[in-house]
Amino acid sequence: MADPMKIRATVKDGVADVRVLMAHEMESGQRRDAAGKLVPAWHITEVVAALNGKPVLKALWGPAISKDPFLGFRIRGAQAGDTVTISWVDNRGDKRSQEVKV
């Protein structure tokens, strides 16, 4: 399983501000190692965010996203105590899902 994400979610006036730092190598498949061989592609392909189980964001990513990506977004209609879940899948089939209370 991948390293844990760092998620922070705060709410003010019904709008949740969510910040996520995902630990992932995000290899593009175009870089070469010290021996000159191509490093295989390994990157997050899909990120989904949900508020209380209802999807509110879906992002399709590729090799152009940097290592340990940061994602910030806002959700209207959130209240203190709500649950925000962040899930991702990479091109090798690895998955990570984590949740935080607002």
Domain boundaries, the chain: 6-101
What is residue 15's predicted lDDT score, i.e. its pLDDT? 97
Closest CA to 44 of 62, 32, 28: 62
Per-residue pLDDT of the chain (102 residues; tens, 9 = 90+): 567 899 999 999 999 999 999 999 999 999 999 999 999 999 999 999 999 999 999 999 999 999 999 999 999 999 999 999 999 999 999 999 999 999
What is residue 3's predicted lDDT score, i.e. its pLDDT? 79
Residues paired with residue 84 on neighbouring β-strands, in sequence order:
51, 100
Two tokens at 17? 């501000």
Q: Does domain 6-101 have CATH number 2.60.40.10?
A: yes
